[in-house]
């Protein structure tokens, strides 16, 4: 692996601030170098173009003057200087190589020019012209031939591009210094910009590090601007809100489950101790203890099954076998079995319309049993529980109506929370239960796109309406 590959590999795993700084510096310096190159190229091109135009113009005017001199003998050789552009020097050499016209004898000779002529002139020069570089100047030269009285002479036109060659050196040095300063400024600016951009991320990181299960109230401060970092901060805070709700529910769930399991466990242990002391010698104590242990074991088993059901539902592992079903058959079956085992209440099915639904048979039965069981549980003896199933165009309305103790308005939304139980102080009997049934029923309804509405009034009973989508042909 060469050095360049190692550099890019190290850059790939470097901090984001380093990447932003280097990217900003590279882009900035590339732009600066490109701008300086264009300025340098344009400066040189302008100088050479100016000299080239002066030479071409002088050659054109001189050629016209020579043609005029052939027609007019009165024009002397001295007039050869007239068509020259200021700054252009003319030397005329005869066929023997002798200079017989020289507008500036102090200018470098033709031989010296040839010695200093560049073999590879700049790309912006005219291919028909020559460039010579001296210690302190650069000279542009063009030439043309003129024939008079069977004698051909060569006219050399010279134009100094820069009197002081140091001018180019100073220009190059200036541009180089600008590039170095630009690089330093680019790195410094890139560093400051990256710090400014990533400062909210640093704040988020510190906030996230300070968040713990026992301290979920900390939130990332959100700046009053609308950008990607603000969206990220809002998303992060919303995620923390959901986590806090989930953790709170989990903590409450564990606490409530522990509380619910503690009571039967305590009862079972108490009767076990009673059996160990006097059960063998006292048949009454033996019978009472066995019945109590069986009852509490059943309660614990029911509670554990409900807890497992909710745990599987939270993890999306509760199986559902969705298929077309006739709801009326399920309602009739559940109602019939409930009526057989209920002797203290009047249970009535006043209407049961046929309707095909797409659902899981087991959980729909379970949901209906939960609502019926709750209605009977919270209705005093001698009360009435009414079931009806009424079909409309797009759904079927399944209602469970009781004449029980009712639910206060402030508690009506809480009944679907786990382990919540309605206060039974309005009745003269203790109401057993885990407070998980309605949570399970609500989950089943959500999985089937059912809508549950609760209507209740203290002392007058409760109505549960379940709107179930029906299958259309």
284: domain CATH number is 1.10.287.130
Q: At 350, which CATH number? A: 3.30.565.10
Kindly state the average pLDDT of the residues 161-184. Answer: 72
The pLDDT confidence band at residue 164, using thresholds 50, 70 and 90, is: very low
75, pLDDT greater than 60 = no
Lowest-pLDDT choice from 107-111, 130-134, 356-360, 409-413: 409-413
**DSSP secondary-structure letter at 409?**
G
Q: Please count the structural domains in the chain.
A: 3
Asked whether residue 234 falls in the same domain as residue 377, the answer is no
Q: Averaged over 31-50, what is the pLDDT?
A: 79
- Mean pLDDT confidence for 367-379: 90
Q: Which of 106, 138, 172 is the last residue of a domain?
A: 172
- Is the confidence at residue 303, as pLDDT, over 50? yes
Let me know if residue 274 belongs to a domain.
Answer: yes
Q: Which of 259, 286, 314 is the last residue of a domain?
A: 314
Q: Which stretch of 57-66, 352-361, 421-430 has the lowest confidence by average pLDDT?
A: 421-430
Q: Is residue 455 part of a domain?
A: yes
Residue 19 lies in a domain: yes
Say whether pLDDT at 181 is over 60: yes
The edge-to-edge listing of strands for the beta sheet with 395-402 is 346-352, 384-391, 395-402, 461-469, 451-457
Give the pair of three-digit tokens for residue 223. 């700046």
- The pLDDT mean for the chain works out to 80
Task: Look at residue 52 and tell me if it is in a domain.
Answer: yes
Task: Let me know whether 339 and 439 are in one domain.
Answer: yes
**Are residues 264 and 392 located together in one domain of the fold?**
no
How does pLDDT run across 192-203, given as a tens digit for each residue? 777 777 777 777
The residue assigned the tokens 């020259």 is 84
Pair 341, 459 in one domain: yes
Distances 51 to 61, 114, 127, 147, 276 between C-alpha atoms, Å = 15, 19, 14, 26, 123
Question: What is the structure's pLDDT at 207?
Answer: 73
- Where a domain ends, among 153, 172, 191? 172
Looking at the structure, do residues 54 and 158 belong to the same domain, yes or no?
Answer: yes
Whole-number percent of the chain with pLDDT over 90: 18
Which 8-state DSSP code applies to residue 61? H
CA gap 213, 254 in Å, rounded: 15
Query: pLDDT category, 456, cuts 50, 70, 90?
Result: very high
Instruction: Give mean pLDDT, residues 340-363.
Output: 90
Q: Within 275-344, where are the H helices?
A: 283-314, 327-341
Cβ atoms of residues 143 and 156 within 8 Å: yes
Please check whether residues 47 and 149 belong to one and the same domain: yes
Model confidence at 427: pLDDT above 50 = no
The CA–CA distances, whole Å, from 377 to 246, 319, 332 equal 30, 29, 20
Same domain, 20 and 156: yes
The verdict on 356 and 392 lying in the same domain is yes
Residue 390 and residue 396 in contact, taking contact as beta carbons nearer than 8 Å: yes
Q: d(Cα 155, Cα 99) in Å, to the nearest integer? A: 10
- Is 257 found in the same domain as 167? no
Distance CA 98, CA 184 (A): 59
Tokens of 207: 């906030």
Q: Which domain holds residue 62?
A: 11-172
Q: At 428, is the pLDDT very low, low, confident or very high (cuts 50, 70, 90)?
A: very low
Neighbours of 393 (CB within 10 A): 6
Q: Is residue 383 in some structural domain? A: yes
Residue 77 lies in a domain: yes
pLDDT value at 367 more than 50:
yes
Mean pLDDT computed over 39-57: 82
Instruction: Determine, yes or no, domain membership for 91.
Output: yes
Do 283 and 330 lie in a common domain? no
The number of beta carbons lying within 10 Å of the beta carbon of residue 79 is 13
Beta carbons within 8 Å of 230's beta carbon, 6+ residues apart? 222, 223
Q: Are residues 350 and 448 in the same domain?
A: yes
Residues 349 and 425 in one domain: yes
Measured CA to CA, the distance from residue 347 to residue 338 in angstroms comes to 8
Say if CB 190 and CB 24 are below 8 A apart.
Answer: yes
From 141-145, 388-392, 415-419, 425-429, the region with the lowest mean pLDDT: 425-429
| DSSP three-state, residue 336 | helix
Half-sphere exposure of 462 (CA within 13 A, CB side): 25
More confident residue, 14 or 360: 360
The HSE-up count of residue 136 (CA atoms within 13 Å, CB side) is 3
Non-local (6+) Cβ contacts of 236 within 8 A are 204, 208, 220
Q: Is 473 exposed, middle or buried (0-12, 13-18, 19+ CB in 10 A)?
A: exposed
In a domain, 441, yes or no: yes
Is the pLDDT at 397 greater than 90? The verdict is yes
pLDDT tier at 212, thresholds 50, 70, 90: low
């Amino acid at each position: 692996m060469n050095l360049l590959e190692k550099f890019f590999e190290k850059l790939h795993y470097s901090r984001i601030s380093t990447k932003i700084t280097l990217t900003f510096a590279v882009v900035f310096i590339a732009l600066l170098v490109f701008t300086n190159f264009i300025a340098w190229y344009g400066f040189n091109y302008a100088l050479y173009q100016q000299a080239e135009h002066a030479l071409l113009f002088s050659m054109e005017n001189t050629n016209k003057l020579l043609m005029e001199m052939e027609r007019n003998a009165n024009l002397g050789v001295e007039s050869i200087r007239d068509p020259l552009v200021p700054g252009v020097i003319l030397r005329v050499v005869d066929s023997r190589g002798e200079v017989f016209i020289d507008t500036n004898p102090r200018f470098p000779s033709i031989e010296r020019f040839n010695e200093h002529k560049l073999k590879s002139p700049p790309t912006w020069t005219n291919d028909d012209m020559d460039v010579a570089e001296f210690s302190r100047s650069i000279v542009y030269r063009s030439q043309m031939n003129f024939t008079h009285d069977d004698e051909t002479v060569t006219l050399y036109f010279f134009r100094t591009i820069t009197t002081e060659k140091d001018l180019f050196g100073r220009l190059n040095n200036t541009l180089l210094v600008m590039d170095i300063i630009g690089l330093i400024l680019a790195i410094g600016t890139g560093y400051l910009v990256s710090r400014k951009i990533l400062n909210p991320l640093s704040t988020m990181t510190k906030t996230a590090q300070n968040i713990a299960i026992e301290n979920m109230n900390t939130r990332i401060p959100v700046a009053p601007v609308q950008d990607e970092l603000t969206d990220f901060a809002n998303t992060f805070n919303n995620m923390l809100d959901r986590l806090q709700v989930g953790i709170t529910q989990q903590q409450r769930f564990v606490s409530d489950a522990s509380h619910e399991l503690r009571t039967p466990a305590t009862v079972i242990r108490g009767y076990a101790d009673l059996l160990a002391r006097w059960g063998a010698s006292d048949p009454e104590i033996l019978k009472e203890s066995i019945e109590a242990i069986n009852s509490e074991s059943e309660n614990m088993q029911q509670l554990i099954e409900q807890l497992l059901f909710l745990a599987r539902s939270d993890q999306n592992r509760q199986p559902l076998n969705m298929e077309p079903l006739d709801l009326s058959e399920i309602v009739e079956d559940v109602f019939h079995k409930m009526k057989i085992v209920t002797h203290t209440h009047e249970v009535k099915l006043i209407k049961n319309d046929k309707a095909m639904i797409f659902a899981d048979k087991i959980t729909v039965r379970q949901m209906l049993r939960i609502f019926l069981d709750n209605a009977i549980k919270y209705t005093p003896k001698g009360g009435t529980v009414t079931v009806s199933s009424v079909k409309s165009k797009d759904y079927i309305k399944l209602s469970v109506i009781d004449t029980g103790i009712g639910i206060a308005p402030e508690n009506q939304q809480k009944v679907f929370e786990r382990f919540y139980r309605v206060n039974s102080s309005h009745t003269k009997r203790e109401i057993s239960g885990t407070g998980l049934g309605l949570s399970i029923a609500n989950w089943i309804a959500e999985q089937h796109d059912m809508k549950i509405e609760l209507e209740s009034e203290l002392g007058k009973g409760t109505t549960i309406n379940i709107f179930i989508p029906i299958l259309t042909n």
